[in-house]
A and B are shown apart, each in its own frame.
Chain A
Amino acid sequence: MLHNRQREFMHTVLGLASQPTVPVLMPDIRESAHSVLTPAARMNIYRRNIVTTLRAALGDIYPTTKSIMGPSFFLAAADIFIQQTPSPSGDLNQFGREWPDFLADYLPGSSPVSSHACLHDMARLDWAWHEAFHAAESAPLDLSRLAVVPGDQHASLVFSLHPSVRLIKSAHSLFHIWQTHQPEDSPTDSQSNTENEGNKNQPGDAAMSGDCLMVYRDDADVTLMKLTEAQYVFLNAFAEQQVLADAADAAMAADATQQTHEAFELHAFLIYTVEQNIIVDFTGAVY
């Protein structure tokens, strides 16, 4: 009986789409002598509470996506998403993982605005930020450990990235769009951004062909950093467990195809990422 009641309740609540429809009646709700509310109206209170909670959770996790879409377009899409996509956990931080893919399917038929083309990637960026915010801590790499590795073995080292690091490549100018959609009074303890400060490999004109981005937690604060194609390829190789030699080859190859002002400097970038706690560990070759 308990299972039936709960299944019935869930289907009733979720079956009520955002548009007014004839509500499903829950026959097992007691009519109250002292209140004018029908069983359907009572179920509707729950539907509203649940939808409000899930809309808010989605908006909190995808603030930039929401800002670009605007409130009404966002809510229209969110309500369809909420109905289609089961929340997998009693922990609301787990809700909304499928939103970027949902948008990729939903947008073409719903949005004539060209700036919305970037929404799928922006949603990926928002989710990456959310994951980085909650990712595990990691101590910085002790450079003295690296110093004792014989030089002829460096090529076969595999470096590992901080658990918060998320790499995103987009055909759109995601960094600029992201910046223009940050709230004026964004609290510094939860949001910050940097355009690769302290890094000699500033992206040049190549940025016009799209963005390579890294989201990571710089100590306590989540940070968005713009990378060159070579830097992106280099770090992504480590995310895929490749050895330093392969990562370097891939970075050089990427560099050769880009019209950057300054060439990829492997040594400087490696030191920089270790100092920034982006690279946090290394192991010997896997083969």
Chain B
Amino acid sequence: MRTPHLLDPAFAGIGLRPPHYQALLAQPQNLSFLEIHSENFFGAGGPPLRYLERFRQDYAISAHGVGLSLGSADPLNLQHLQKLKHLVDWLEPALVSEHLCWVGVEGRYLNDLLPIPYTEESLRHVVTRVSEAQDYLGQKILIENISSYLEFTDSTVPEWEFLREVAQRAGCGILLDVNNIYVNAMNHAFDPLHFLAAMKPADIGEIHLAGFQDTGEILIDTHGAAVSDPVWALYAATVARFGAVPTLIEWDTDIPPLEILIAEATKANTILAHKLTHVPHAA
């Protein structure tokens, strides 16, 4: 029986992407974990699962879903959930996460992480579905805050209150995407520190860092650039508040050589190490 690797919160991880498979196999890296997009391993067999089988021998794995559509008005997609459970039961990932968003409706998927209005109705709906998903999977999941480019007039509470309440009522954890907080703060004119202040430290199970694109009019969450300086500053504030939390460097478009991602992870390690050698401030 294989013992799953445990996450070491003192070191950051990176997203596991095919362009880096050979480089990662050639030389072991000082990474706390590798994160997959769960759906890319929904197949019955073949190279994706064979590679994953090799990587799970050496690294803790985090299974990050992009397609469960927890915020959709549709009934929960049981076929999707079943495939996720099949993967999770085999993989025994250190973390399982999804997004606070909808991906499709009326059976038609748009395959993007789309915002929902933050209302009491939405909250009850999302809480029910997160609970259903956790019950089905037989484990706690983390829910991630997304980037958004619009706000609904229907919303009655701010995003951070909504996220905190989902965790509170559904008993799930939070995957805090610091880049998404920054992007939304700029796009929707709020203080990102308000977002951080609203979170309960015990809920935060993982942190994401990524790069955005500034069009001059709006920030777009591209996952296609290095983490920006203001996001690093916000990350330092996040670690100061929540302590050393498993941190992921995400890079999904224009994927650079592995060394660039390792350098970003090393930068995060420095901030995590700084926190670990200092007495935490009272949260």
Query: Is A32's CB under 8 angstroms from B110's CB?
Result: no
Query: Is B154's CB under 8 angstroms from A92's CB?
Result: no
In the assembled complex, A209 has its CB within 8 A of some CB on chain B: no
A60, B95: Cα distance in complex, Å? 28
> In the complex, which residue of chain B has the Cβ closest to the Cβ of A48?
B220
In the assembled complex, A189 has its CB within 8 A of some CB on chain B: yes
In the assembled complex, A241 has its CB within 8 A of some CB on chain B: no
A54, B117: Cα distance in complex, Å? 25
Within 8 A of A (CB), among B169-209: 187-189
Which residues of the other chain, A, contact B220 by a CB distance below 8 angstroms? 45, 49
Query: Is B218's CB under 8 angstroms from A2's CB?
Result: no
Partner-binding segment picked from A62-70, A83-91, A146-154, A243-251: A83-91
> In the complex, which residue of chain A has the Cβ closest to the Cβ of B119?
A1
Query: Is A93's CB under 8 angstroms from B43's CB?
Result: yes
> In the complex, which residue of chain B has the Cβ closest to the Cβ of A39?
B150
Besides A35-B218, A45-B220, A93-B42, 18 more A-B contacts (Cβ < 8 Å) are: A1-B117, A7-B106, A9-B114, A10-B105, A10-B106, A29-B151, A34-B189, A86-B109, A90-B67, A90-B109, A134-B43, A134-B45, A135-B45, A135-B46, A137-B45, A163-B44, A189-B22, A217-B46
A28-B66 CB under 8 A given contacts A13-B110, A217-B46: no
Interface size class of B (residues with CB under 8 A): 35 or more
> In the complex, which residue of chain A has the Cβ closest to the Cβ of B150?
A42
9 tightest A-B CB contacts, nearest first:
A90-B67, A134-B43, A3-B73, A136-B44, A86-B108, A6-B105, A137-B45, A42-B150, A91-B39
CB < 8 Å A-B pair total: 157
A187, B150: Cα distance in complex, Å? 41
Which residues of the other chain, B, contact A90 by a CB distance below 8 angstroms? 39, 65-69, 77, 80, 103-104, 109, 111
A3, B67: Cα distance in complex, Å? 18
Listed by A's residue number, 20 A-B pairs whose Cβ atoms lie within 8 Å are A1-B119, A2-B121, A6-B116, A9-B105, A10-B104, A10-B105, A28-B152, A28-B153, A29-B150, A32-B189, A37-B149, A37-B217, A37-B218, A39-B150, A42-B149, A50-B111, A86-B107, A88-B109, A92-B39, A189-B22
Question: A-facing mask of B112-144, CB < 8 A → 1, else 0?
Answer: 101011010110010000000000000000000
In the assembled complex, B47 has its CB within 8 A of some CB on chain A: yes
Q: How many residues on chain A are close to B (CB under 8 Å)?
A: 53
Min Cβ gap A127→B in Å is 14
In the assembled complex, B256 has its CB within 8 A of some CB on chain A: no
Min Cβ gap B254→A in Å is 12
In the assembled complex, B50 has its CB within 8 A of some CB on chain A: yes
Question: B-facing mask of A170-211, CB < 8 A → 1, else 0?
Answer: 000000000000000000011000000000000000000000
Query: Is A87's CB under 8 angstroms from B104's CB?
Result: yes
A132, B44: Cα distance in complex, Å? 10
Which residues of the other chain, A, contact B114 by a CB distance below 8 angstroms? 6, 9, 46
Min Cβ gap A227→B in Å is 22
In the assembled complex, B102 has its CB within 8 A of some CB on chain A: yes
In the assembled complex, A272 has its CB within 8 A of some CB on chain B: no
Min Cβ gap B98→A in Å is 10
Which residues of the other chain, A, contact B103 by a CB distance below 8 angstroms? 90
Query: Is A189's CB under 8 angstroms from B217's CB?
Result: no
In the assembled complex, B40 has its CB within 8 A of some CB on chain A: yes
> In the complex, which residue of chain A has the Cβ closest to the Cβ of B151?
A30
A5-B152 CB under 8 A given contacts A57-B111, A92-B111: yes
Query: Is B48's CB under 8 angstroms from A134's CB?
Result: yes
Q: Per a CB cutoff under 8 Å, which of A32, A50, A133 touches B46?
A: A133
Which residues of the other chain, A, contact B154 by a CB distance below 8 angstroms? 1, 5, 28
> In the complex, which residue of chain B has the Cβ closest to the Cβ of A95?
B111
> In the complex, which residue of chain B has the Cβ closest to the Cβ of A164?
B46
A24, B150: Cα distance in complex, Å? 15
Which residues of the other chain, A, contact B150 by a CB distance below 8 angstroms? 26, 29-30, 39, 42-43, 46
Query: Is B80's CB under 8 angstroms from A91's CB?
Result: yes
Min Cβ gap B238→A in Å is 24
Which residues of the other chain, B, contact A37 by a CB distance below 8 angstroms? 149, 217-218
A29-B218 CB under 8 A given contacts A2-B116, A86-B107: no
A29-B153 CB under 8 A given contacts A9-B114, A46-B112: yes
A95, B125: Cα distance in complex, Å? 27
In the assembled complex, A113 has its CB within 8 A of some CB on chain B: no
A89-B80 CB under 8 A given contacts A1-B121, A28-B152, A45-B149: yes
